[in-house]
Structure 1
């Protein structure tokens, strides 16, 4: 049996729209078992998720390698669907990793990033899913440029995952079609300075900037009303900042490790519809293990 393990991801990190992302300690695991006459996918997603060649992981793999021999697969995942935690990206990376193994493609991680970004459209989720840690990345339509993004080791992530889904298409539709030039310049400056602050362990500067996004959060706030509520709660604690994870509706508060439990308790007292988790940065990214 071969096991592929891919972390959840959180894109944007506030003002880093479509360019910043980090890997988190929730995982999708794909088990590849014996060859079969047809694709058989066992999972816990319910009847709405296909269990044959139409399953997203299998159909994605077949786009890259149409003659891939069918196998029995088992999918287990801690990553909820349509919550802004990179569920589709983790499945995509699992699919490409499976192709790499079963079709002997010998893709490097760089190859996987280029292929995944072309399929996904932007690299903010797939890059950290592959490499782990936090990543800054840009796709010019042909090539993905990326670099590790330093995140202070003392920081962790209090993550509120609502009970409801928010489809990426709906979240994208809420975005403005254009930004005024001065607003675009300011938004870019905020993002650039946040990256520099994190790189320099300048937590005070990061605290001022992580909630100053001008690209997407205001336009999407009505789709994830918990953002305003959790920000209000978090500001009463010693936190770095609270942001909308990816397209939402998951809300993440960046906190010092020592403050995480206190913030979780405060959020839970608000009895919002969802669950709160204390997550950490996954530093390894997608891994492949062979079990005899």
Structure 2
């Protein structure tokens, strides 16, 4: 599975307190021990042999929830890295990767979140593996983030239980091409390699105004459009810095509010700072 790290960040600050749990900077519904950042922190602490008696977590959240941008992975990685730093643990990045994947259940978004750049990942004998690829610095990623959510469960449920062999070959044959095209910044090859027969035709039906947004992007000069994760965020790959300006008027006429956010690739992954 391929995943890409972009410069869109959540920040988490962890502080030991005498007892209890204080969480700041997130909706009230998440200010409890079911919070994914807290649960991931506790899991990492247990691996380090530490008991969490009291903890204060302060959050600055910039990654929208349930938009196909890896918000849950950011929470998990933040909690794991935070515990390792606060308790002066000696977990390596690879060890934290394994723990984070175990907590998430799959490596798709955890891999780029931890290692940065473009990653290809898989699980073999319950152990996750990831390989990192470089991407041309000429490429920009324009995210169109709507004011509605989609359910990951529904996005998986809508996919067919079986697929045609030729459709599988169609997609697989494009993966290696896509990796090289992203490295060289070859927009024509990126456009061809992003063609899909396995999920976008199904998941697109869950995204309001999917066809309208695609038409606006094509008119604005986009050659590479795809659904980010399971949606509903729609991503464009471009070299045109003015692409957001070209689509702004058309997007403003749509029923839903779509935030236009130009993003660059993050090549370092999760960072820790000791305050």
**Distance change (3 Å), C-alpha of 1:65 and 1:44:** closer
> Distance in 1 between the 2:125 and 2:69 partners?
24
Does 1:43 pair with 2:25? Answer: yes
1-side partners of 2:55 and 2:103: how far apart?
23
In 2, Cα distance between equivalents of 1:82 and 1:226:
17
| Mapping of residues 105-124 of structure 1, within 5 Å | 105-124=89-108
Q: Name the SS of the counterpart of 1:39 in structure 2.
A: strand
Give the Cα separation in 1 of the matches to 2:209 and 2:123.
31
Give how far 1:141 is off. Answer: 4.4
Higher strand share goes to which structure?
A: 1
Task: Output aligned runs, 1:27-66, within 5 Å.
Answer: 27-45=9-27, 47-49=28-30, 51-66=31-46
Q: Give the structure 1 partner of residue 139 of structure 2.
A: 155
- State whether residues 203 and 240 of structure 1, in contact with CA within 8 Å, keep that contact through their aligned partners in structure 2: yes
- Length-normalised TM-score, structure 2: 0.90
Structure 1 residues 179, 43: closer, same or farther in 2, change over 3 A? same
Inter-CA distance 225–209: structure 2 relative to 1 (3 Å threshold):
farther
Q: 1:62 to 1:166 in 2, by over 3 A?
A: same
CA 279–263 in structure 1, closer or farther in 2 if over 3 Å, else same: farther
Find the aligned partners of 1:188 and 1:223 in 2 and give their Cα distance.
Answer: 24
4+ long deviations beyond 4 Å: none
Cα deviation for residue 65 of structure 1 reads 3.0
Gaps of at least 5 residues in structure 2 are: none
Q: Paired residue for 1:276?
A: 260
From 231, 234, 243, the counterpart of 2:217: 234
- Structure with more helix by fraction: 2
Which of 144, 147, 155 is 1:171 aligned to?
Answer: 155
Name the CA distance, whole Å, in 1 between partners of 2:66 and 2:125: 25
Equivalence for 1:261: 244
2:7, 2:265 within 8 Å by CA — same for their partners in 1? yes
The aligned residue for residue 97 of structure 1 is 81
Q: CA RMSD in A?
A: 1.9
Tell me if structure 2 keeps the 8 A contact 1:53–1:59: yes
Quick check: 1:264–1:277 contact (8 Å CA) kept in 2?
no
> 1:163-208 deviations in whole A, cap 9, x for unaligned?
1111211111111112122221221112222122223432211122
SS at match of 2:182: helix
Structure 1 residues 249 and 65, CA gap change in structure 2 (3 angstroms): same
How far apart are 1:248 and its partner, in Å?
0.5
- TM (normalized to structure 1)? 0.85
CA contact (8 A) 2:171 2:198 kept: yes
Query: Structure 1: 5+ residue runs without aligned partners?
Result: 1-18
Structure 1 residues 103 and 255: alpha-carbon distance in aligned structure 2, compared to 1, 3 A threshold: same
Instruction: Quickly say closer, same or farther: Cα 1:131–1:190, change in 2 above 3 A.
Output: same
